[in-house]
Amino acid sequence: MPKQPGILFDRRFYDHAIRQHSLENAARVRGLYHSLEGPEYAGRLRVYQPREATGADIEAVHSTFYLDQLREHVNADNPYSYDRDTYLMEQSLYTAALAAGGCLELADRIVSGEIDYGFALVRPPGHHAEPGRGMGFCVLNNVAITAEYLRRVHGMQRILILDFDVHHGNGTQAVFSESDQVFFVSIHQEKLFPFTGGTQEVGGGRGRGYTVNLPVPQQFADPEYLFLLGKVLSGVVEQFLPQIILVSAGYDGHCEEPISRVLLSTSWYATITELLKCLAHETCENRLLFVLEGGYNPVSLEASVLATVDSLLRPVGRRPGVVHSERAARILNNHPLHAFWTV
């Protein structure tokens, strides 16, 4: 019998807030939380609450120097004293630890077999936070802390992270660039903050070849994205054989988002979820965990996340069909991933 997906959200995530305008604010998720508590989803999802990540959990990824810096820059009078985008208030570090710990809570539930799929609807986001530096609204790197926890506590040796946020996941890449146990794939708009993630960035040392970046031009939409991820993920997953798939799920590539020029539709997020479910079913006993990253139009964010959740509620079907895209194929021509993997 199919297991109910797990969902995690908590109103304490509202407490990371400032009076000044910021695209990353509690209003992003209020409507989404309300919808998930409504009658349409009653009894269909396992709802979990976060725990606070421990110091050991966090310090497995972030330097003590960085964490000390964060504490020093908590400043109600100047919330941007640490970084011009990443504000810090009295509740920010606790909220960030709850966000990371919420991901660990769902990871434990997936590994135990209690659920197959999970979605951690947490904030602040995390994928830009490097070991020694926060940026781009990100304080702690939730998905990296989760991957390292899965290695350290559960002994996993093959973890796949897909980051489909419209911005490159520079922090996650920095954490695992020299590891052959965490395979990182990022698809993102080129020449956009944080201005990293070129195709030539493939990792180093033992991790060489375990980083794949797919920078795409403006105006790419559903067909190009599905072609690229369909080709790359199918090939990589069948060779790497991950024990779990983690997803840095950023919804700021939606066509109604103010922060990018990629033109993804709401339905694309359902389609990529269907593909990831199929890959997880074929290779890692359905272990699949989504972690919320960006998405700054509350209306399109809610619709797209609910499209993902609705997909998780459906039984596993066939892999979505992938139609050839000549524009997208040019990105894979002479891509350095061909030196390491067959796609």
- CA 142 – CA 158 distance, rounded (Å): 18
Q: Is the dihedral of CA 76, 82, 87, 88 positive or negative?
A: negative
- CA 114 – CA 172 distance, rounded (Å): 27
Q: Look at residues 54, 131, 144, 52 and name the one whose alpha carbon lies nearest to residue 94.
A: 52
Could you give the maximum distance between any two Cα atoms of the chain, in Å? 54
Name the residue with tokens 């619709």: 303
∠21-27-30 over CA atoms, to 5°?
Answer: 170
Q: What stretches of 183-288 show up as alpha helix (H) in DSSP?
A: 222-240, 266-283
Active site residues: 128
- CA 51 – CA 57 distance, rounded (Å): 12
Q: Based on the number of CB atoms within 10 Å of its own CB, is 167 exposed (0-12), middle (13-18) or buried (19 or more)?
A: buried
∠213-214-220 over CA atoms, to 5°?
Answer: 160
Q: What stretches of the chain show up as alpha helix (H) in DSSP?
A: 27-36, 55-59, 64-73, 92-112, 142-152, 170-176, 222-240, 266-283, 298-313, 326-332
Q: Look at residues 159, 175, 11 and name the one whose alpha carbon lies nearest to residue 95.
A: 11
Q: Look at residues 154, 149, 82 and name the one whose alpha carbon lies nearest to residue 113.
A: 154
Q: Residue 255: helix, strand or coil by DSSP? A: coil
